[in-house]
Amino acid sequence: MAWLLVTAPVRADVTTLLSDTLNDHNSIMLLIEPESGAIIDANDAAALFYGYPQAQLRTMKIQEINTLGPDEVGDERRRAKAEKRNYFIFPHRLANGELRTVEVYSAPVRDKLGRTLLLSIIHDISGKAVAERELSAYRARLEELVTRRTAEALQAQSRLRFWMTLGLALQTVLIVALVIAVIRRHAAVKEVVHEAMTRRRAEEKLAQANADLQRFAEIAAHHLQEPTRRLMVFSQRLAKALGHQGDDNIAFSLSTIEEQAGQLHALVRDVQIYLAAGSPLGPVTTIDPARIIQSIRDDHYLRFEKLDTEIDITPLPLVCMDQPRLRYLLTALLENCLQHSFADRPLRIRISAETRSGRVLLSVADNGPGIAAEYRTRVLEVFEHLSMADKHRGTGLGLAVVRRIVESCDGHVVIDESPLGGAMITIDLPGEVH
């Protein structure tokens, strides 16, 4: 069909053209939009021939009537041109499913606005005599069309069967893999649950053992306090009772007993503090470290005064923890400065802090002898002393308690060289919660 391109159909004008002019004609006529194949209008003869009401025909496309595909339609156009025919031969399907062989004569028409449509006049040649050559050619074309359509259908069926078989095979493989994965996952889950239960039981036993050990150590330290106190008291009473009657050996022995009893008493006290340092000893609140430091200075005024101590405190941020342990931390750090200082020069202490990612890094620096790099980690362990000959070397638990408290607050302790020439100890503590 030699269809001409139309920009946009206007149904009202062309319908009037066909209805007013050709509707009563006995020939079958269709008015078609060339671009889409939409049937714009059909006369009464077309409705009678095809078996569709005119209203339904106006909603259909010529492709729903012509059983040839686009390629076959193109072939028929080329044959008509080669044979110099002004008509086309097509099989058209009626509403009842019957096929009719028709000749289609097409010519362009224009509506009032100049738009081009296609007017097709159709003659039913089914059962009529046609030229022998044309009839033979038409039959050959129909046989060729049937053969080609059959081959295409078989090929499509073969491809469909292949892809269905492949799909079923893949689906089977996936199902098997899924079943295996589910079985393995179930086994893995059971193993993980078993391991989790075993680990939880082990952790519970370990926690219970640690709690029992902690409780035993606390009770033992508590019961050791009284004997050490009595040992100190009775050694002092014995020395007082003897007065100057005893010789030097007895006096030395008594003083040694008293000194060692005092050392043992301090050791038991610090062991108790170490055992309790892992948990808060009071409500966790926001505390000003500067206020705690000032209180410690007041309590140890004579010791600071004796060493001509100068303490430089920069503005300190607030710390969020319990007050008893914070006080012990600051006391232990200042005590470390007092204990390890030069006797022939004034003691200088600088306390500073900075806030970093919600944490407070508080540093205490002094101008003492400092701590050599190879001992800076070691002195944080329990019962470690830098000098065994130091007469006032303490119990060896002060910095260990500091580390235990800081680590229980998810922090760490760092010992470095002080800008004042001695040691600088930095502790990492939780800052104020906003």
Contact 268, 326 (CB under 8 A): no
For 50-64, 216-230, 367-381, which range has the lowest pLDDT when averaged over its residues? Answer: 216-230
| Secondary structure of 186-229 as H, E, C letters | HHHHHHHHHHHHHHHHHHHHHHHHHHHHHHHHHHHHHHHHHHHH
The pLDDT > 70 percentage for the chain reads 80
pLDDT above 50 (res 129): no
**Pairwise CA distance, residues 63 & 185, whole Å:** 57
Contact 106, 89 (CB under 8 A): no
The whole-number average pLDDT for the span 71-75 is: 74
Of 76, 110, 128, the last residue of a domain is: 128
Q: Is residue 43 part of a domain?
A: yes
The conformation of residue 61, written as its DSSP 8-state character, comes to B
pLDDT above 80 (res 109): yes
pLDDT the model gives residue 11: 42
The whole-number average pLDDT for the span 248-272 is: 75
CA angle 175, 178, 183 (to 5 degrees): 125
- Quickly tell me which residue has 């101008």 as its tokens: 367
Q: How confident is the model at residue 94 (pLDDT cuts 50, 70, 90)?
A: very high
Q: Is residue 233 part of a domain?
A: no
Report the DSSP beta bridge partners of residue 212: none
Of 128, 146, 165, the last residue of a domain is: 128
**Pairwise CA distance, residues 314 & 336, whole Å:** 20
For 2-16, 34-48, 211-225, which range has the lowest pLDDT when averaged over its residues? Answer: 2-16
The whole-number average pLDDT for the span 47-62 is: 92
pLDDT above 80 (res 40): yes
pLDDT the model gives residue 133: 54
Which candidate, 300, 369, 379, 365, places its Cα nearest to that of 341? 369
pTM higher than 0.75 = no
Domain that holds residue 301: 278-430
Question: In the sheet that 116-124 helps form, which strands lie side by side, from edge to edge?
Answer: 39-42, 28-32, 116-124, 99-110, 88-93
pLDDT the model gives residue 217: 64
pLDDT above 70 (res 240): yes
Q: Is residue 68 part of a domain?
A: yes
Q: Is residue 185 part of a domain?
A: no
pLDDT above 50 (res 39): yes
Question: In the sheet that 413-417 helps form, which strands lie side by side, from edge to edge?
Answer: 310-313, 348-356, 359-366, 423-430, 413-417
Among 4-13, 24-33, 383-392, the range with the most confident prediction by mean pLDDT is: 24-33
Q: How confident is the model at residue 96 (pLDDT cuts 50, 70, 90)?
A: very high
Q: What is the CATH number of the domain that holds 357?
A: 3.30.565.10
Phi-psi category of residue 171: left, alpha or beta, with phi > 0 → left and psi -120 to 50 → alpha: alpha
**Domain total in the chain:** 2
The whole-number average pLDDT for the span 51-71 is: 88
Of 128, 159, 178, the last residue of a domain is: 128
Q: What is the CATH number of the domain that holds 67?
A: 3.30.450.20
pLDDT above 60 (res 415): yes
Report the DSSP beta bridge partners of residue 88: 104
Contact 29, 45 (CB under 8 A): yes
pLDDT above 50 (res 12): no
Tens digits of per-residue pLDDT, 326-385? 999 999 899 889 888 888 889 999 999 999 988 999 999 999 898 888 888 888 887 776
- Quickly tell me which residue has 């209180």 as its tokens: 295
Which candidate, 277, 279, 236, 280, places its Cα nearest to that of 258? 236
pLDDT the model gives residue 246: 57
Please give the structure tokens belonging to residue 244.
């100057």
Return mean pLDDT, the chain. 81
Q: Is residue 212 part of a domain?
A: no
The pLDDT > 90 percentage for the chain reads 30
Q: How confident is the model at residue 5 (pLDDT cuts 50, 70, 90)?
A: very low
The burial of 322, by beta-carbon neighbours within 10 Å (0-12 exposed, 13-18 middle, 19 or more buried), is given as middle
pLDDT the model gives residue 391: 45
What DSSP string describes 117-131? EEEEEEEE-TTS---
Q: Is residue 86 part of a domain?
A: yes
Q: Is residue 421 part of a domain?
A: yes
pLDDT above 70 (res 243): no
Q: How confident is the model at residue 317 (pLDDT cuts 50, 70, 90)?
A: very high
The CB density around residue 215, as the number of other CB atoms within 10 Å, is 11
pLDDT above 60 (res 13): no
Q: Is residue 290 part of a domain?
A: yes
